[in-house]
Amino acid sequence: MNTETILYIILAGIIALSLALFQYIYKSKKRTKVYMFLAFLRFVTIFSVLLLLINPKFDKTTYFNEKPNLIVAVDNSESVSYLKQDEKAKQLLAELKSNKELNERFNLEFYRFGKDVETTDSLSFNEKQTNPSLLLDRLSQVYGNTTSPTLLISDGNQTYGNDYEFYTNRYKQPIYPVILGDTTQYMDVKIQQLNVNKYAYLKNKFPVEVIVVSNGASNISTQFKITSGSATLFSQNINFTKANSSQIINLTLPANRVGVNSYKAELVAIENEKNTVNNIKNFAVEVIDQKTNVAIISDILHPDLGALKKSIESNEQRQATILKPNEFISQSNDFQLAILYQPNNNFKLVYDEIEKLKLNKFVIVGTKTTWTSLNSFQSFYTQTITNQTEEFQPVLNPNYSTFIIDNLDFSNFPPLKSEFGETRFSVPNEAILYKTINGLQLRESLLTTFEVGNMREAFLNGEGIWRWRAQSYLDNKSFTNFDNFMGKLVQYLSSIQKKTRLNVNYESFYNGNDDVKVTAQYFNKNYEFDATATLNITLKNKDTEESRTFPFILKNTNYEVDLSGLPAGDYSFTASVANENISKSGELKILDYNVEQQFLNANVTKLKSLATNSNGASYFIADTKSLVDNLLKDERFVTIQKSSKNVVPLINWKFLLAIIALSLSAEWFIRKYNGLI
């Protein structure tokens, strides 16, 4: 409280006392106890009111104890149960929960992790992927500014995500790995890794690279082979020694049949081998009879060109070539789709050639586009020429019905730059993305598609799409989502498929540990997205003839069904709409592979390294008695007394209002009782 406020309070006391004495003592000329008490009550009332007007502020300090957190994160993946450590992990978790001293010293928080991270009180050990780096990333966001030692109860085997061993540069808490398993070495041979392209082309040969390894000190002889059905396509004898415990096998296989072809790579099991699951790796290749060649035509250099090429070629079915306009003219017959990037005066012959060949095209305009020329080259749209530029942010059109679009959180993507002014279309078109400026959505297309006769075209009104691809990577740690979005656009422009009210998107085959998700979009008769429809998918296992039906779940502007729990096999499916005679059919294959069953031991080396890098300590699950004692004795994890200082204005003190009301009431009652009113 400052000096000025204190002076105001003293002055308020003098004024209140003067007024009370003037009314009850000086004016009445009486000195009785009743008048003295009435003067006191009047002083309290006036002084309290003046205090409220001055409203002095007081510092209020409160003290509290803050216990450190103890994070207990348990590996919930299948590898834990496969190593027969699941019951030990559950027992340790129960002991930690019931430990009275730990609960008095720490705030215990429990998590389980596999491919994702969840808070938990129970464990199932059924996760098909293990991603410890995601766990440490999530915990660093929540507990970054606290004292939170972390118990990591895991076998240390990782199947997904970034390497967690050196994640301590971001997660600053001491980590105490509890190792589920032992260091016993078993004699074992396994397929460590198999690399193969997802697609191959008819009558070609596709490469396969296989890395095979052995664990054990003695010499081992076995055989590696690849089969398809009952036919053996490749075989090779393998000899491992102590000095040569791994080998790389490179081979090629013929692509003779269009469609999804399944193969089995196998290392013949050796005598007394403990784990034979990791001897087999199933894989598949989709053989197609043509490849889409895309020409990216530009007269300027721009980062967008590289982003487009990378995005298109992320799918092995497609190849993109960056060309100058005159280079395209001489090679035009080699391409099935043309991307015209920022056309200028030199594109006249390009437009003539595309028209002659009846090629579909994707036109991207920006600040280097010569609109006077582009307006004359074609008649489908015209741009108001202002010679000014503007930045436009995208927003998804949820009613786009031509093909399925996943919402990539477009509204948070960086803006694209282009000519300011309206683009007017002379043909029916459908916007994928609308323009927004400063959060205001315009009914103008940013990205649109249209069809004229048998030709299709897409139009993007802005440059800077490379920033979208970069933002997608920052959001998802992968380019996949953006590349899939561009892939669907290229697929639409490369095909002759007609517009339908029900669109279903799926892969021809899924690896055993992939998320098996099928998405769909359904539109009403006006081709507006229908969010109230009931969609179902019926799958039939071709081997067992068993049929199962699953409902689609509405997610944003798509319907989605997760089929990840299905056993491996070949399936035919039919997606249908309830109360509508509309359906789509297809086939998919789920490969038999469980990455969590590939391990024989805990990864002790990584877990110990993690403990060392984080100033923690590692323990084996069979020797955790000292773990609790060490945590309780560690002086880094003590309860800290903290203070909180709040500035409280007097007007918030409700009891002062009660005093004013009480003094006024008492004064009125006494005056009434003594006949002074």
Condensed to tens digits (0 to 9), the pLDDT of residues 559-577 reads: 999 988 788 889 999 999 9
What share of the chain in percent tops pLDDT 90? 38
Q: Please give the pLDDT value at position 219.
A: 84
Gap between the Cα atoms of 292 and 318, Å rounded: 5
3-state secondary structure of 15: helix
Mean pLDDT of 231-245: 89
Q: Which two tokens stand for residue 37?
A: 């008490």
Q: Highest-confidence range of 166-170, 411-415, 636-640, 652-656, by mean pLDDT?
A: 411-415
* 3: pLDDT strictly greater than 90: no
Q: Please give the pLDDT value at position 465.
A: 93
pTM: 0.64
Place of tokens 């003539």: 352
What is the H or E stretch that residue 608 is in?
helix 604-613
Could you report the per-residue pLDDT of 323-356, keeping only the tens digit for each?
Answer: 999 999 989 888 989 999 999 999 999 999 999 9
Residue 158 exposed, middle or buried by CB count within 10 Å (0-12, 13-18, 19+)? buried
3-state secondary structure of 194: strand
Query: C-alpha distances in angstroms, 580 versus 157, 168, 269?
Result: 49, 55, 53
Could you report the per-residue pLDDT of 523-554, keeping only the tens digit for each?
Answer: 887 777 888 899 999 999 998 899 999 999 99
Q: Which of 267, 263, 349, 370 is nearest to 589 (CA)?
A: 263
DSSP-derived pairing of the beta strands 150-154 and 569-577: unpaired
Query: C-alpha distances in angstroms, 677 versus 668, 670, 672?
Result: 8, 10, 5
Mean pLDDT of 284-299: 87
The residues near 144 (Cβ < 8 Å, ≥ 6 apart) are 172
Q: Which two tokens stand for residue 555?
A: 């997610």
Mean pLDDT of 297-304: 93
Q: How many CB atoms lie within 10 A of CB 342?
A: 23
* 474: pLDDT strictly greater than 80: yes
Gap between the Cα atoms of 595 and 190, Å rounded: 12
Mean pLDDT of 74-85: 90
* 57: pLDDT strictly greater than 80: no
Gap between the Cα atoms of 465 and 468, Å rounded: 5
Gap between the Cα atoms of 574 and 467, Å rounded: 38
CB 147 within 8 A of CB 113: no
Q: Please give the pLDDT value at position 592.
A: 81
Q: Please give the pLDDT value at position 527.
A: 72
Q: What is the mean pLDDT of the chain?
A: 87
Mean pLDDT of 375-388: 89
CB 130 within 8 A of CB 158: yes
The pair phi, psi for residue 372, each rounded to 5°, is -60, -40
End-to-end CA distance of the chain: 41
Gap between the Cα atoms of 627 and 645, Å rounded: 38
* 496: pLDDT strictly greater than 70: no
Please, what's the b/e burial string for 576-608 (b: 16 or more CB within 10 A of its CB; e: otherwise)? bbeeeebebeeebbbbebbbbebbbbbbbebbb
CB 282 within 8 A of CB 567: no
Gap between the Cα atoms of 231 and 517, Å rounded: 32
* 514: pLDDT strictly greater than 90: no
| DSSP 8-class letter at 413 | S
